[in-house]
Amino acid sequence: MADADDVRRLALALPQVVEIDSEGFDFRVADKGFIWSYPERRPGTSRLIRTDVAVLYVGDEAEKQALLLGEPEVFFTTPAYHGLPLVMLRLAQVNVDRLHELVTDAWRMRAPDARPGPATG
C-alpha cells in the first residue's frame, strides 16, 4: 500500500524534479506537472486536497482509457478531467513498486530527454 510519503520520495529521487508548495503534494519537471494531490471539488464547499489520491499524467487518451478500463479499482476520472491526459490514482490500491513505475513513466513523458535515477521502490 502506497501513500503520499512514497509519492514524495519517489518523485524527488528523479532528476530535475521540483516540488511546488501546496496543501498536499505537487511535482513538476521542466515546469510541467506529472503527479499531484487530487483537488476534489465538492458542491457548495471549497475543494478538498486529497493526499490519498494522486492526479497522474498519462500522456494520451488511449493510455488513460486503458488504465481506467483495465484497473477501475485503482484509477478513476471525473468530468472535470474529460479530454485531459490525466487519471486519478487511489494510492492505497497500489504497492510501492507499482507506484515507482507509474511516477517514473509520468516523469518520462513530461521530461523526455531526462534519464531516471536508480530505482528507489
What pLDDT was estimated at residue 42? 81
What pLDDT was estimated at residue 46? 87
pTM of this structure: 0.89
When the pLDDT of each residue in the chain is averaged and rounded to a whole number, the result is 92
- Distance separating alpha carbons of residues 86 and 82, to the nearest angstrom: 9
Place of cell 503527479: 35
What pLDDT was estimated at residue 71? 97
Class of domain 4-110: alpha beta
Inform me whether the pLDDT recorded for 113 exceeds 80. Answer: no
Q: Which 3-state string (H, E, C) describes 67-116?
A: HHHHCCCCEECCHHHCCCCEEEEEHHHCCHHHHHHHHHHHHHHHCCCCCC
Inform me whether the pLDDT recorded for 108 exceeds 70. Answer: yes
Domain spans of the chain, in order of start: 4-110
Inform me whether the pLDDT recorded for 4 exceeds 60. Answer: yes
Q: What's the alpha-carbon Rg for the chain, to the nearest Å?
A: 14
Q: Name the band, by pLDDT with cuts 50, 70 and 90, for residue 120.
A: very low
Place of cell 529521487: 13
